[in-house]
Structure formats: structure tokens, C-alpha cells
Structure 1
Amino acid sequence: MRKVVAGALDVCCVLVFVAIGRSSHDEAASVTGFLNTAWPFLAGLAAGWAVLRAWRRRPDAVVPVGIGVWLSTVAVGMVLRVVSGQGIAFTFVLVALVFLGLVLLGWRGVARGAVALRGDKPERV
């Protein structure tokens, strides 16, 4: 169950990033536009999970899964945007790095802190 929740939280983080970005640029609220913006980052997220085999580790751990998933989401997402003709700007890369870093690592840090406060031992895989 922990793996499903971790994956769902990661997807939600990417979708929130896309929603905020599209809203801040007054882009139309069409589903196709949203999906067109989201798919490169969701593919980057999936690539990170696959390369790290996150489901076989502790997917809620900041290191190495959180950092690897974060960097993969941004790097692969940006490459796919360029390849698909969507383009990128330096400031967009910085915003993506910061925002996705905060949310993808942030929820993991909060989860670890909550486990520590409860006195539970982290699940070993």
C-alpha cells in the first residue's frame, strides 16, 4: 500500500505543478492542453521510478528515491518538451527544479518526520 500511496503522491505533485503553471500563464483550462503540458513530466516521473526501481525500495525515502525521481522528472520532462516542440526557458527549468524539488522531496520529508514522531521504525524492503 505504501508504494501505491507514494506513486499517487508523486503524480499529484506533478499535476499540481502543471495546474499552477498553466493558471499563472492564463492558459486555457482545456483538458487536452493540461495533458499536453503534463505528459512530459509524468513520463519523467515514470522514468525515475523505473530506473530507480522505486517499488522495490522505500519509495517514500528522500534518498535515493526522492532525489532520483525529482531530478528525473525535471530532466526527462524538459528533454521531452523540447523534442515535442513545446520549448523551455531557463527560468522555467529553475522554477520546475525548485517547485518539484519542494513537493517531491517535501512530502517524503514530512512522512519521515511523522514516522519519527510516532516512534515507528521505517519499513525495510
Structure 2
Amino acid sequence: MSTPTNTATGGLPGKTQRSPVMALSFDVLAVLLFALLARIAHNTPEMPLSFTGWLDTSWPFLIGVAIVWALLWIGVVRPRKSAQVTGADGFSGFEFSTGAMVWITNVIVGLGIWGIRHGEVPHWSFMIVATVMSGLLLFGWRGMFRLGRLRRLSRMKRMGRMFNK
């Protein structure tokens, strides 16, 4: 009996096909969730929670995501290769090194645009909260995928032991 494999990845157990488009989508969703949580936390009569307010909060940070993903796509920057390699060039967007690039660019560009729009440097507490929350969301979904991969590998190893492999 053979070891369980995933034929979609060339027979390597525990690896799944992951596209950069999927990773970009999760990054966009993470930033949109970040902006929504910010709008909910700061819901005031002067800044009410609304769809347009949510978009107004999210677009500077989405530009940061767009910039880094454009640089990744054209090959100007590349994440460190890891055991999660899936594409022909070893880039999937699910790597923590990609998350670090997206996170740093997202924070710098988003807060930079905020500062230009408001004509002042953002308050230090805003910079800390924006940095921490966007980091949690951008690394969080990557961590959940990695945890799922580790669980699949563990399950496959247990199945192999059941069949004396």
C-alpha cells in the first residue's frame, strides 16, 4: 500500500496548491476587516459607521497592499522560500515572509497617506493599534493555513502507522 499523497501537488504529502491570487484575496479581506473594526471602534456622530466611511478608512491601507503585491507579481521583491513552496518559482503568497512584506508596506503606506490627508503625523496610539491589528490579521490567516497543513500532516502520519508504513 502506498503513502497517502496529494496528486494535485505532484505527489507531495501535506502540500496543497495555493495560488497567489488566493493569498492576495485574503490580504485584501484582512485589511477590509481591519478597517471595519476601526470604524466600529470609532463610531461617533462626527464619524458614523457607514459603507462610505468604511471605504474611506480602508483605501489608504489597500493601496499599501496593492503596491507590495504589484512588486511581488513583477518580481521586484521575492519572499524567502519555505517548505510551503507551491508555484513553479516557489512563490504562493502564503509564506510568513510574504506576510511581513505586506504588513510593513501596508502600515507605512496606509499611515503615510492618512498623515498626508490630515496634514499631521498620526497619533502614536493610532500607529501602534494600526500596526498591531493589521499584523494580527495579515499573519493570522497565514497561521491558520499553516496550522491546517500541520494537522493534515499529523493525520497522514497516524494513518501511515495504522497501516504499518
TM beyond 0.5? yes
Whole-angstrom CA distance in 2 between matches of 1:52 and 1:76: 16
For 1:11, the equivalent position in structure 2 comes to 28
For 1:107, the equivalent position in structure 2 comes to 141
Larger Rg: 2
Work out which of the residue numbers 89, 94, 98 in structure 1 matches 2:132.
98
- Percent of paired sites with the same residue: 35
Whole-angstrom CA distance in 1 between matches of 2:148 and 2:38: 30
Q: TM-score of the superposition, structure 2-length normalised?
A: 0.65
Count of aligned residue pairs for this structure pair:
119
Whole-angstrom CA distance in 2 between matches of 1:32 and 1:44: 19
Helix, strand or coil at the partner of 1:29 = coil
Work out which of the residue numbers 116, 122, 134 in structure 2 matches 1:83.
116
Deviation (angstroms), 1:85:
2.3
Whole-angstrom CA distance in 2 between matches of 1:14 and 1:116: 26
Higher helix content, 1 or 2: 1
Change (3 A) 1:28 1:86: farther
Alpha-carbon RMSD: 2.2
1:46-85 alignment runs, 5 A limit: 46-53=66-73, 57-63=91-97, 65-85=98-118
Give the residue type in structure 1 aligned to 2:51: V
Work out which of the residue numbers 24, 27, 30 in structure 1 matches 2:41.
24
For 2:3, the equivalent position in structure 1 comes to none
Structure 2 gaps of 5+ residues are: 1-17, 79-86, 155-165
The 8 Å contact of residues 62 and 105 in structure 1, kept in 2 or not, is answered as: yes
Q: TM-score of the superposition, structure 1-length normalised?
A: 0.83
Deviation (angstroms), 1:30:
2.4
For 1:123, the equivalent position in structure 2 comes to none
Change (3 A) 1:50 1:60: same
Helix, strand or coil at the partner of 1:84 = helix
Helix, strand or coil at the partner of 1:96 = helix
